[in-house]
Structure 1
Amino acid sequence: MATFIFLCNEDTEIDIRDQIEDAKEQIASGEFYDTPWSCGNSTKIKIGDRAYLKRTGNRPHGFFAAGKVVAAPEGYQLRKQGEYKHLSEAYLNSFYGNSFMVLLHIDSVVNFDQPLEQEKLRYMPQFRGANFTFMQGGCEFIARFCEDLDSAWEEHSMILSRKGYGKRLVDTFCDRGQAHKDKMNYQAAIEAYNQALLIQPRYSKAVNALKTCESLLKKQITKKISETEEIKSDKNSNELESSNISDSSNKIERIKDITIAKQQEEASFLGVSFGNYQKNKEVEKAAVDFVRKQYNGWNIESVERDKVGYDLICTNKSLVENVEIKGVSGNEPAFIITANEVNQANKNPNFVLWVVTSALNSPKGHRWSGSEMLSQFELKPIQYMARLRPKTQS
Structure 2
Amino acid sequence: MKTLIFLCNEDTEIDIRKNIEDAKKQIAAEKFYNTTWSSGNNTKIKVGDRAYLKRTGSKPHGFFAAGKVLAAPDSCQLRKQDEYNHLSEAYFNRFYGNSFMVTLHIDSVVDFDQPLEQEKLKYMPQFKGANFKFQQGGCEFDERFCESLDSAWEVHSMPLSRRGSGKRLVDIFCEKGKNHKDEMNYQDAIKAYNQALDIQPGYSKAINALNLCESLLKKQIAKKISETEEIKPDNTSEESESSNTLEPSNEVEIIENISIVSIPEKKENEEEADLLGAGFGNYQKNKEVEKAAIDFVMKQYNGWNIQSVERDNVGYDLICTKDSIVKNVEVKGVSGKEPAFIITANEVEQANKNPNFVLWVVTSALNSPKGHCWTGCEMLSQFELKPIQYMARQRPIFKVE
Q: Name the residue aligned to 1:151.
A: 151
Q: Name the residue aligned to 1:141.
A: 141
Q: Name the residue aligned to 2:58.
A: 58
Alignment partner of 1:114: what SS? coil
Q: Name the residue aligned to 1:335.
A: none
Encode CA deviations 1:190-210: one digit per residue, 9 max, x unaligned. 100010011111112111111
1:258-297 counterparts in 2 under 5 A?
none
- 1:232, 1:43 → 2: CA distance? 72
Q: Name the residue aligned to 2:164.
A: 164
Q: Name the residue aligned to 2:173.
A: 173
Deviation at 1:215, TM superposition (A): 1.2
Q: Name the residue aligned to 1:7.
A: 7
- 1:104, 1:18 → 2: CA distance? 17
Encode CA deviations 1:281-333: one digit per residue, 9 max, x unaligned. xxxxxxxxxxxxxxxxxxxxxxxxxxxxxxxxxxxxxxxxxxxxxxxxxxxxx
Encode CA deviations 1:46-69: one digit per residue, 9 max, x unaligned. 000000000000000000000000
- 1:113, 1:61 → 2: CA distance? 9
- 1:199, 1:137 → 2: CA distance? 23
Deviation at 1:113, TM superposition (A): 0.3
Encode CA deviations 1:82-104: one digit per residue, 9 max, x unaligned. 11011100000000111100000
Q: Name the residue aligned to 2:278.
A: none
- 1:89, 1:199 → 2: CA distance? 20
Deviation at 1:233, TM superposition (A): 11
Q: Name the residue aligned to 1:94.
A: 94
Q: TM-score, normalised by structure 1?
A: 0.58
- 2:231, 2:36 → 1: CA distance? 59
Q: Name the residue aligned to 1:307.
A: none
Alignment partner of 2:224: what SS? helix
- Please say if 1:116 is aligned against 2:127: no
- 1:25, 1:107 → 2: CA distance? 12
Alignment partner of 1:79: what SS? helix
Cα-Cα RMSD = 1.4
Q: Name the residue aligned to 1:48.
A: 48
- 2:188, 2:231 → 1: CA distance? 27
- 1:182, 1:8 → 2: CA distance? 41
- 1:66, 1:230 → 2: CA distance? 53
Structure 1 residues 226 and 85: alpha-carbon distance in aligned structure 2, compared to 1, 3 A threshold: same
- 2:215, 2:121 → 1: CA distance? 41
Alignment partner of 1:22: what SS? helix
- 1:125, 1:83 → 2: CA distance? 45
- 2:60, 2:159 → 1: CA distance? 18
AA partner of residue 200 (structure 1): Q
AA partner of residue 111 (structure 1): D
Q: Name the residue aligned to 2:187.
A: 187
Deviation at 1:231, TM superposition (A): 4.8
Deviation at 1:212, TM superposition (A): 1.3
Q: TM-score, normalised by structure 2?
A: 0.57
- 1:51, 1:33 → 2: CA distance? 13
AA partner of residue 164 (structure 2): G
1:223-238 counterparts in 2 under 5 A?
223-231=223-231
Alignment partner of 2:230: what SS? helix
- What stretches of structure 1 of length at least 5 have no aligned partner? 235-394
- 2:35, 2:215 → 1: CA distance? 39
Q: Name the residue aligned to 1:321.
A: none
Encode CA deviations 1:129-169: one digit per residue, 9 max, x unaligned. 10000010000001111011000001101011011100000
- 2:6, 2:39 → 1: CA distance? 6
Deviation at 1:232, TM superposition (A): 11
1:1-394 counterparts in 2 under 5 A?
1-231=1-231
Deviation at 1:72, TM superposition (A): 0.3
Alignment partner of 1:164: what SS? coil
AA partner of residue 174 (structure 1): C
AA partner of residue 198 (structure 1): D
- 1:124, 1:130 → 2: CA distance? 10
- 1:120, 1:159 → 2: CA distance? 17
Alignment partner of 1:45: what SS? coil
AA partner of residue 21 (structure 1): E
Deviation at 1:230, TM superposition (A): 1.9
Alignment partner of 2:51: what SS? strand
- 2:220, 2:180 → 1: CA distance? 14
Structure 1 residues 232 and 66: alpha-carbon distance in aligned structure 2, compared to 1, 3 A threshold: farther
Deviation at 1:114, TM superposition (A): 0.2
Alignment partner of 1:108: what SS? strand
